[in-house]
């Protein structure tokens, strides 16, 4: 995938207005993402590049200016990375910008959080080990099946690399949770698949996971129809065909997996989780029509937990 450096214009730190990220500053080091997950809704945003990633190469410089500006009025309580991209894409120039941005924030005592499907290089783990109470790490991992990954997350880190992230983050004293999102109906919600995943998570001491099923949006359907094998696409479409378009968070046209299928799946995760000592929370942002939880529940907090119900997380999966 081609990397194109561009200059970021305007403010670097912008406040999110959605879901569990409400009022938290967010930061993306690139526009576009080399991992190219087939279900990624950020790929369908207007202006999202195709077969190319734009790197905000002036981001560290602009971030330093914003942080050092004596006239800055808004306190920065936390910065959430990766709401529309991933800081841990493999390209060395992307990693260099991510490292500089995270260092600038942590050195000033500003907490950071991220969700990643990449592999986190050791130098980041060393950085985090210096400020473990300021880092909240989320690892996106839906399945340990290689076949699943080749089809749905072709460019992301392998499941073993992501499990290795968990080990090294925990050893560095960082709070780490796992996000199982998007659960793909019929592909990643079988008894065997969940057992295999939870066995590996439990071996690494994971106690808590956050769950959410795949959403359909028009741009996602277009991507899926170009990138999934026909049989896989047809099976997925059959799940959503009776479902109405509805507003979910900021998206006015989303389809959810039918409630009975989601509840059945979440209960399956919950009962297998109990056997492994893993608590399963259902993401309230992406499941506005059923009882669910705010995904920051139970985490050591950097700030007050936002009051939220039925709003969509910005994370692009």
- Residues at the interface with ligand SF4 (CB under 6 A): 33, 35-37, 40, 42, 85-86, 117, 156, 316-317
Q: In the complex with ligand SF4, which residue's Cβ is closer, 138 or 316? A: 316
Q: In the complex with ligand SF4, which residue's Cβ is closer, 42 or 112? A: 42
Distance in angstroms (rounded) separating the CA atoms of residues 296 and 116: 16
Tokens at residue 305, please? 């937990």
Pair 140, 81: CB distance under 8 Å: no
User: Closest distance between ligand SF4 and the C-beta of residue 185, in Å?
Assistant: 18
User: Closest distance between ligand SF4 and the C-beta of residue 242, in Å?
Assistant: 26
Name the helix (H) or strand (E) containing 94. helix 92-107
User: Closest distance between ligand SF4 and the C-beta of residue 251, in Å?
Assistant: 15
Give the CA count within 13 Å in the CB-facing half-sphere of 149: 18
User: Closest distance between ligand SF4 and the C-beta of residue 90, in Å?
Assistant: 12
Cα 279 from chain centroid? 19
What is the radius of gyration, based on Cα positions, of the chain?
19
- Give the Å distances, CA to CA, from 163 to 116, 211, 257, 305: 12, 17, 28, 27
Distance in angstroms (rounded) separating the CA atoms of residues 141 and 316: 14
Q: In the complex with ligand SF4, which residue's Cβ is closer, 40 or 101? A: 40
User: Closest distance between ligand SF4 and the C-beta of residue 51, in Å?
Assistant: 13
Q: In the complex with ligand SF4, which residue's Cβ is closer, 40 or 256? A: 40
* Torsion angle (degrees, nearest 10) of CA 240, 242, 245, 246: -100
User: Closest distance between ligand SF4 and the C-beta of residue 136, in Å?
Assistant: 17
Q: In the complex with ligand SF4, which residue's Cβ is closer, 90 or 268? A: 90
Q: In the complex with ligand SF4, which residue's Cβ is closer, 49 or 298? A: 49
Q: In the complex with ligand SF4, which residue's Cβ is closer, 273 or 316? A: 316
What is the greatest pairwise CA distance in the chain?
58
Distance in angstroms (rounded) separating the CA atoms of residues 285 and 197: 24
Percent helix, percent strand, percent coil in the chain, to nearest 5: 35, 20, 45
Q: In the complex with ligand SF4, which residue's Cβ is closer, 36 or 189? A: 36
Residue that is written with structure tokens 């576009």 in the block? 32
Distance in angstroms (rounded) separating the CA atoms of residues 133 and 304: 16
Give the SS3 label for residue 218: helix
């Amino acid at each position: 995938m081609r990397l194109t450096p561009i200059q970021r214009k305007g403010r670097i730190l912008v406040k999110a207005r959605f879901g569990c990220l409400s009022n938290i500053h967010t930061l993306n080091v690139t526009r576009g993402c080399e991992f190219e997950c087939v279900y990624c809704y950020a790929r369908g945003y207007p202006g999202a590049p195709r077969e190319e990633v734009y790197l905000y190469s002036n981001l560290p410089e602009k971030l330093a200016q914003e942080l050092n500006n004596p006239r800055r009025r808004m306190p920065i309580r936390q910065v959430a990375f990766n709401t529309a991209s991933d800081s841990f894409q493999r390209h060395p120039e992307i990693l260099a910008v991510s490292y500089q941005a995270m260092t600038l924030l942590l050195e000033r005592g500003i907490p950071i959080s991220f969700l990643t499907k990449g592999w986190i290089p050791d130098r980041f783990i060393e950085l985090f080990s210096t400020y473990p109470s300021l880092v909240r790490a989320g690892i996106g991992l839906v399945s340990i099946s290689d076949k699943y990954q080749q089809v749905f997350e072709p460019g992301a880190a392998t499941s073993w690399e992501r499990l290795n992230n968990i080990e090294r983050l925990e050893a560095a004293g960082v709070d780490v949770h796992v996000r199982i999102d998007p659960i793909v109906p019929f592909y990643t919600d079988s008894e065997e698949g969940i057992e295999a995943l939870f066995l590996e998570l439990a071996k690494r001491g994971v106690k808590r996971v956050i769950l959410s099923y795949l959403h359909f949006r028009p741009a996602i359907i277009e991507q899926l129809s170009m990138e999934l094998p026909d049989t896989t696409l047809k099976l997925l479409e059959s799940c959503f065909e009776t479902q109405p378009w509805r507003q979910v968070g900021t998206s006015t046209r989303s389809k959810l997996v039918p409630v009975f299928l989601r509840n059945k799946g979440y209960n399956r995760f919950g009962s297998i989780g109990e056997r492994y000592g893993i608590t399963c929370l259902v993401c309230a942002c992406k499941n506005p029509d059923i009882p669910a939880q705010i995904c920051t529940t139970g985490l050591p907090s950097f700030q007050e937990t936002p009051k939220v119900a039925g709003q969509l997380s910005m994370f692009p999966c």
